Amino acid sequence: MRPRRRGYGLGRLAAAAVFGAVAAFWTWTTPADPALWPTAPGEAGVEVQMLDNGFHTDLAVPRAALEARTGPLAEAVRSLPPGDWILIGWGDARFYVDQSPIGDRLPDGARAFFRSGNASVIMLDPTQRDLRDLVAADRRRGLRLSAAGFAAMADHIEASLDLGDGHARIAASRDGDDARFFASHEHFWIGRLCNHWSAGVLHAAGLPVRPFRAITSSEIIATVERAQLDSRATRD
């Protein structure tokens, strides 16, 4: 009987170790960068918005702030149709662009999720509409970035572009739609989804993020909420 008890105990110990490792990874948070976040007292900063459509997140950025920069991302923004806000998102080069009924795209969705090495694109979508008319208040969170944080975030987005010739390259567009989809050198799959990319954008701006939980859009919104609360507590 003793060997059985010993084996049972070892099994419980192993199970506890696995559970602890999973919990640690699930709750692991990359720290904030105090040089970038939050904004210093009195600093104007740059106001951005994170938008959640229920499963995907887009970042809304003032066009003027992007066009004030130099480099391929600013050039790409200047080439877009009119719109004071630029919606920025990332996804699979086929599934993300296609807007046909979701029921007709399930096989392609499975391909995007479970096949590694899928090509990806960055969406730049100019809008002249008020963001309050685009997304309900409970699916939209504003965030004021420091000038340094905004610059680091924009650099991170620019680094995702495929700049083979030094310029952003349009990979796709849609009829009757002002959005343009620029080729990215990154790969889309279940281990690297659109919300993982959004988490990386926020972390580049200096915010703390939970990378392993960033599979859902609600986690991205929660990331912004936590950062806002932490910044208020710091100021208080």
Q: Mean pLDDT, the chain, as a whole number? A: 90
| Digit-coded pLDDT (tens) for 53-111 | 999 999 999 999 999 999 999 999 999 999 999 999 999 999 999 989 988 999 999 99
Check whether 14 has a pLDDT greater than 90.
Answer: no
Q: Is 142 helix (H, G, I), strand (E, B) or coil?
A: strand
What is the residue whose two structure tokens read 């310029």? 167
Instruction: Please tell me whether residue 82 adopts helix, strand or coil conformation.
Output: coil
Report the interhelical angle of 217-235 vs 194-204 (nearest 10°).
20
Give the predicted TM-score (pTM) of the model: 0.88
How far apart (Å, rounded) are the C-alpha atoms in residues 52 and 139?
5
Centroid of chain to Cα 10: 41
Local confidence band at 29 (pLDDT 50, 70, 90 cut-offs): confident
